[in-house]
Amino acid sequence: DSGVTQTPKHLITATGQRVTLRCSPRSGDLSVYWYQQSLDQGLQFLIHYYNGEERAKGNILERFSAQQFPDLHSELNLSSLELGDSALYFCASSVTRAGETQYFGPGTRLLVL
């Protein structure tokens, strides 16, 4: 157990809908990272927050957004969902903002029908 929690574990929804994925980092970690893992793309970095502020953006679509709250938990919002958004979404946390050792949560499996 990495200490990173994610909810929900599974999510099934329809195209055009909006969903919110939640992540709680390990105790003491200030950084939260979101990744998407699909069969054809591997693990792709989406976005990084440090202590409530956005630090870096990766291959994140404009339909996707995230935020980190004062209690350091983070939410990833996916809207206008398409079939191709079906994937595993992981969050990871680390102590610093340097992007170093990141501990991953168990992931949320999203299926868009």
Partner 1 sequence: GESVGLHLPTLSVQEGDNSIINCAYSNSASDYFIWYKQESGKGPQFIIDIRSNMDKRQGQRVTVLLNKTVKHLSLQIAATQPGDSAVYFCAENMRGSARQLTFGSGTQLTVLP
- Sites of contact with partner 1 (CB under 8 A): 2, 4, 33, 42-45, 48, 55-56, 58, 90, 92, 97-107
Closest separation between CB of residue 80 and partner 1, Å? 25
Cβ–Cβ under 8 Å, residues 81 and 18: yes
Q: Which is nearer to partner 1, 20 or 44 (CB)?
A: 44
User: Hey, what are 108's tokens?
Assistant: 């949320």
Q: Which is nearer to partner 1, 10 or 14 (CB)?
A: 10
Closest separation between CB of residue 106 and partner 1, Å? 5
Identify which of 13, 22, 20 has the alpha carbon closest to the alpha carbon of residue 82.
13
Identify which of 47, 46, 37, 26 has the alpha carbon closest to the alpha carbon of residue 89.
37
Q: Which is nearer to partner 1, 81 or 89 (CB)?
A: 89
User: Hey, what are 59's tokens?
Assistant: 């291959």
Closest separation between CB of residue 30 and partner 1, Å? 14
Strand partners for 90: 35
